[in-house]
């Protein structure tokens, strides 16, 4: 059993923010879902990723319904998607998600390699 300190930063982000339903990260033609989601939703997010692969970097609010927001951020190599409840402001979601993305990018390849090595 893995301890909470060895868990992915995305899992920690989802657990730390009550309004987050899921985080999806697409990098190097690989998509990871935190936490795991149903197959139908995976197909939905895969379509969003395919559509935004060739778009310019930046952030986008993709969907705003009575139940949820879907917020997407794309940098040169990676697409980040945050699905959350709408009981919080869009600006708060953007701020929290941008901080998460910035922290993830600061880790660099070496810490990611170490955490993946110890999670085995």
**H/E/C letters for each residue in 20-75?**
EEEEEEEECCEEEEECCCCHHHHHHHHHHHHHHCCCCCEEEEEEECCCEEEEEEEC
Q: What are phi and psi of 42, to 5 degrees?
A: -60, -45
Domains of the chain, start order: 8-109 (3.30.450.30)
3 pLDDT band, cuts 50/70/90, is very low
Please give the residue that has the higher pLDDT: either 27 or 61.
27
79 pLDDT band, cuts 50/70/90, is very high
Position 7 scores a pLDDT of 67
**78 has pLDDT over 60:** yes
Region 82-95: mean pLDDT is: 88
Coil vs helix vs strand at 84: strand
114 pLDDT band, cuts 50/70/90, is very low
Cβ atoms within 10 A of the Cβ of 49, count? 18
């Amino acid at each position: 059993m893995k301890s909470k300190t060895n868990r992915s930063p995305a899992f920690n982000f989802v657990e730390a923010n009550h309004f987050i339903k899921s985080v999806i990260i697409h990098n190097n033609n690989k998509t990871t879902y935190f936490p795991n989601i149903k197959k139908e939703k995976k197909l939905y997010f895969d379509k969003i990723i395919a559509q935004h692969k060739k778009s310019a970097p930046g952030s986008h609010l993709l969907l705003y319904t009575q139940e949820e927001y879907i917020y997407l951020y794309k940098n040169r190599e990676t697409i980040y998607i945050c699905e959350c409840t709408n009981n919080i402001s869009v600006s708060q979601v953007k701020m929290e998600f941008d901080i998460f993305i910035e922290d993830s990018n600061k880790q660099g390849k070496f810490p990611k390699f170490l955490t993946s090595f110890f999670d085995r």
